[in-house]
Amino acid sequence: MTSLRPFEKINRIEISHLSKTYGDVTAVSDVSLDVIGGELMVLIGGSGSGKTTTLRMINRLIEPDSGSVKINGTNIRDFDEVNLRRNIGYVIQQIGLFSHMNVHDNIGLIPTVEGWGKERIDAQVSKLLEMVDLPPEIFSARYPRELSGGQQQRVGLARALAMNPSLFLMDEPFGALDPILRKQLQEEFLSIKNDIGRTIIFVTHDIDEAFKLGDRIGIMHEGELVQVGTPEELIFHPKNDHVAHLVEANRKYRHIESFTVQDLMSPLSKRHFFDAAVPVSEALDKILSGTCGTAVVMRDGGLQGTTSRHEIVRNRNQDLVMGDIAKPPVTMAPDDAAVPALQEMKRKNASSALVLNRDGEVSGILIPDSVLFHII
């Protein structure tokens, strides 16, 4: 029988106040989380943190004691559970391929029970195998035991894609693979993910994997969702020691590739802004009391340039105004990648760079010294 799809596209998944206890053990405690359509949300935590239980409450493998999950505003209890699961791609660590079925039948199982015709199933299986880089003419007839671990995992991924679901639940899908293979599959997965553009909830205990794949990361600990945020938010504003420890905040430099200028810039207070007409001698007091050695010189409400504390001090006795000693600054946009930005500063031998937003307003300043403070 062919069933109607419960949802075509995910706009929002609202998880609210989910709780689940087993006897005295609280598996999940009052977890609330909004997943936005199209994002890859990673749930990370140690064993027993409740991440897998939370995941399995989304496809109703586990029914919560309290709380609800809504997909596009509809409570998942109002969906037929079989129909719900058929429209959610599910990939787990143990892969879960059926060893008595060949690759074709594994991938085509749900289409078969959904009553698709043979040609349609064959076409879909071939398409999906191509997608995961397994030539169908070689792999269709093979049994799972005749595949390597990585190939099995790809078949698992292809099977999850069989019904063209708009939502994926993945429970440590790369966990059983050796590190090199895992890295390779993560890369492939990222490219597939960008191709298919679907909503994914991904459970892992590997922080590097979380940082690599996740648009946002939810940190779970002892059944609670401790903090949700982008990798940068978690690194710079960990809510507690546990989060800081987990994201290895003391080793942030490992993740410097993922930073943007915005993450590393410092705010610039009003006292560092000077009108071009202000005499240098007058600016001296203000700049000496400030923490930042850069002065921004404005003319007619627009940016004229910057100068340094050093220049101000050197010219304090000359009869000059700030406009005279201002030089055109190195500028960058808040969402520029941090590493190339710093490299450019190094090349230009600039002691600071102004971060300008789209309207040309100064939103902060990038100072190599304080960058170091940010990342250590």
Binding site for other proteins (CB under 8 A): 59, 61, 82-88, 90, 92, 94, 96, 98-101, 109-110, 113, 144-145, 159-160, 163
Distance of CA 185 to the CA centre of its chain: 17
In the complex, least distance from residue 109 CB atom to other proteins, rounded to whole angstroms: 7
**159 vs 252, which CB is nearer to other proteins?**
159
CA 113 and chain centroid, separation: 36
Q: Which is nearer to other proteins, 51 or 374 (CB)?
A: 51
- The residues facing 41 across adjacent strands are 201, 216
Residue among 161 and 296 whose Cβ is closer to other proteins: 161
CB nearer to other proteins: give 158 or 292.
Answer: 158
**Angle formed at CA 96 by CA 90 and CA 101, multiple of 5 degrees:** 115
The distance of closest approach from Cβ of residue 43 to other proteins in the complex, given in angstroms and rounded to an integer, is: 17
Tell the smallest beta-carbon distance from residue 99 to other proteins (Å): 6
Pairing of strands 66-71, 40-44: unpaired
Q: How far is the CB of 53 from other proteins (least distance, A)?
A: 14
Tokens 């993740």 locate to 255
C-alpha 376: how far from its chain's center?
A: 21
> In the bound complex, what is the minimum distance in angstroms from residue 85's beta carbon to other proteins?
4
Q: How far is the CB of 28 from other proteins (least distance, A)?
A: 18
Tokens, residue 228: 């949700």
Query: Which residue, 69 or 219, is less far from other proteins as judged by CB?
Result: 69
3-state helix, strand, coil in the chain (%, to 5): 40, 25, 35
End-to-end CA distance of the chain, in Å?
58
Q: Which residues of 345-360 are buried (b: 16+ CB within 10 A; e: fewer)?
A: beeeebbbbbbbeeee
Q: Which is nearer to other proteins, 163 or 362 (CB)?
A: 163
> Least Å distance between CB 216 and other proteins?
24
Neighbouring-strand partners of residue 29: none
Nearer to other proteins, 84 or 366 (CB): 84
Q: Edge-to-edge strand order for the sheet containing 294-299?
A: 273-275, 294-299, 302-308
Compute how many other C-beta atoms are within 10 angstroms of the C-beta atom of residue 225. 23
Instruction: CB nearer to other proteins: give 61 or 278.
Output: 61
Q: Are 147 and 168 in contact (CB under 8 A)?
A: no
Is 42 or 110 the residue whose CB approaches other proteins more closely? 110
Query: Distance between CA 284 and CA 38 in Å, rounded?
Result: 52
Min dist CB 127 to other proteins, Å, is 18
- Residue 58 is classified by DSSP as H
Question: E strand or H helix at 122, and its extent?
Answer: helix 118-131
Q: Which residues contact 227 (CB under 8 A, 6 or more apart)?
A: 218, 219, 234, 238, 239, 240, 243
Shortest Cβ distance from residue 41 to other proteins (Å)? 19
